[in-house]
Structure 1
Amino acid sequence: MRFKQFSRFSLTKPSGRYLYNLMSNAHHRKKQPALVRQQLLEVAARLAASDGMAAVTLDAVSSASSVSKGGLLHHFPTKNALLDALFESLLEKFDVDIEELMRGDPQPQGRFTRAYLRAVSGLKDRPDDSRSWTQVTIALLAEPRLRLRWRRWVQARAEEYVGTDSSLDAQIVRFAADGLWFADTLESHEISDSLRRDLINRLVELTGK
């Protein structure tokens, strides 16, 4: 009789540790798809950086990530869906960089423009991000939907910071930043570290006017 009571108690009232482990395991199972998705995007970014966007195929990403083709298709049913998600992932990282730079800037006037300039010019110092952005920038020229997404990002930021970053000088600085970015992407100019530093400093001065 005691055994039966103990058995019923064990089945109906599991210990706190057991419940914790059960909930924790369920939590990890729920998180697993997000981890797989992130892994696929990281592999796609590495392939783009090393071999160009043409190398980012569903088969290549599946093979390099050790995720089955079916598992890949669950997250990204087409190559375009994968490329769109890769672009969004890079944009999210870019936003994080800009927000971090803005938090460290005490001057409101031109704050977004300075952060944008520094984030763009700083890509050169992060080879992995730089190579990924190089391939995505090239893809922007050929993919209308990516150009539209980038245009919307630019317009949204312009509207968000219209009160502090809409002056003519601020717009000149952002256009100059885009030019520097494009020059780095095409490797069209030999820009020494000292010249780059002087260019950025002069542009930063304009943002405060």
Structure 2
Amino acid sequence: MLVTPGNHEDWNWLDGEFQRHPGRPVALSSVVEVLPRGYRFEVGSRSFASFGGAASVDFELRSEGIDWFSGEMPTEQDVVHAVADGHVDVLLTHETIDGGTPASETVLRSNPMRWSLEALNYSSRSRALVTRVWEGVSPELLFHGHMHVADEITLPSGQQVISLGRDGQARNLALLELSSLAWQWLEGPPKAPRVRRTRDWETQFMTRPECEENDD
């Protein structure tokens, strides 16, 4: 299993491992490996690139070094490295891109959780970097997570962007047929996730205990 890391990983540990083994995946077990940013590989003659990390828009509610790590944000050097070898067939990211699926764009426009301007700017910087990778490798398909919404779009260029749902949400898995790059959702009954995660976008804002202080 090859893992494109997200934003709530222990990036202090991951970055240390990536530095000790430059350009190589980090083994978590005999069958699970975490991919460094810009890592390329082939499956069935199809080329893939992985570009992990994303901005935790809820970082103000977390503690740095405990459940939030600044290394989640890609760097300019990461972007340059990722696009250096040009086109791939499939790009795997955690962060979304600017101009992605309608559901993701709706979340970004509406800010349903009323995140602060600083948090929104932090998220915007992350998306801008990942968008540059998307433009630089020009894939036929982009699969990403992070937004807690499942959706898809085919752009005028013919490229497709697929937003995967979160753990426990319908449409959090997809099956890709490599010879044609045709894909389909793997449907399944939702189940309660067993990990801490960013609050769902659809959750009522008024359930946040700090909402009265921040509500103008």
TM (norm. structure 1) is 0.29
**TM-score normalised to the size of structure 2?**
0.28
**1 or 2, which has the higher helix percentage?**
1
Larger Rg: 1
Would you tell me which structure has more strand in proportion to its own residues? Answer: 2
Higher relative contact order (CA 8 A, sep 6+): 1
